[in-house]
């Protein structure tokens, strides 16, 4: 089981993983910046008070802003040497199957946890957790914490 994140610095990046579901969703790995609680309240309010078509566009905007990278490939390029990643643009996100975008959105918004990535070793999981814990205790952003640690050795 993936260890929970209990404190999120602005700038914190998390690893997301969605296990493959036959005929619904390919295996998906992505890096994302979790939505902070106050931002989530604002996003929820805006979506709740919008017409249905705009609701989906707003959710796609959230994903485009918070997902930093992913391995989601265009279907026509699967299996070819020139695999093309689907761009993290609202117009492209709106064309992705809802089962996939709903799952990503719920993880980014902090409503559900990512599936456990079978490719991460116990050591990598422990390292991610220890690193996040060190940053949380430092009282600084992850970038400032990393810069400080690189200066000291």
27 occurs within a structural domain = yes
> How far is it, in rounded angstroms, from Cα 104 to Cα 110?
10
91 occurs within a structural domain = yes
136 occurs within a structural domain = no
Measure the N-to-C terminal CA separation of the chain; round to a whole number of Å: 32
The helix (H) or strand (E) run that includes residue 55 is helix 52-66
Whole-model pTM: value is 0.73
Q: Domain containing 18: what range?
A: 14-125
144 occurs within a structural domain = no
Number of domain units in the chain: 1
**Given the structure tokens 């070793």, which residue do they identify?**
121
141 occurs within a structural domain = no
131 occurs within a structural domain = no
List the one residue out of 38, 107, 35 whose CA is nearest residue 70.
107
97 occurs within a structural domain = yes
- Residues 98-145: tens digit of each pLDDT: 989 999 999 999 999 999 888 876 666 556 555 556 655 665 555 555
Q: With contact defined as beta carbons under 8 Å apart, do 35 and 66 qualify?
A: yes
> How far is it, in rounded angstroms, from Cα 38 to Cα 113?
19
9 occurs within a structural domain = no
- Residues 76-100: tens digit of each pLDDT: 766 667 778 999 999 999 999 998 9
Q: How far is the CA of 103 from the CAs of 46, 53, 86, in angstroms?
A: 20, 19, 16
- Average pLDDT of the segment spanning 63-84: 84
- pLDDT the model gives residue 1: 46
């Amino acid at each position: 089981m993936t260890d929970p994140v209990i404190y999120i610095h602005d700038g914190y990046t998390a690893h997301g993983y969605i296990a493959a579901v036959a005929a619904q969703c390919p295996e998906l790995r992505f890096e994302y910046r979790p939505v902070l609680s106050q931002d989530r309240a604002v996003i929820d309010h805006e979506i709740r008070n919008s017409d249905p078509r705009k609701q989906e566009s707003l959710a796609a905007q959230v994903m485009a802003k918070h997902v930093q990278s992913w391995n989601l490939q265009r279907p026509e390029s699967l299996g070819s040497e020139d695999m093309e990643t689907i761009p993290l643009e609202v117009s492209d996100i709106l064309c992705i199957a809802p089962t996939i975008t709903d799952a990503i959105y719920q993880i980014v918004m902090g409503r559900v946890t990512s599936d456990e990535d079978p490719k991460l070793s116990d050591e990598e999981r422990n390292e991610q957790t220890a690193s996040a814990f060190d940053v949380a205790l430092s009282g600084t952003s992850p970038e400032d914490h990393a810069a400080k640690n690189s200066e000291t050795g």
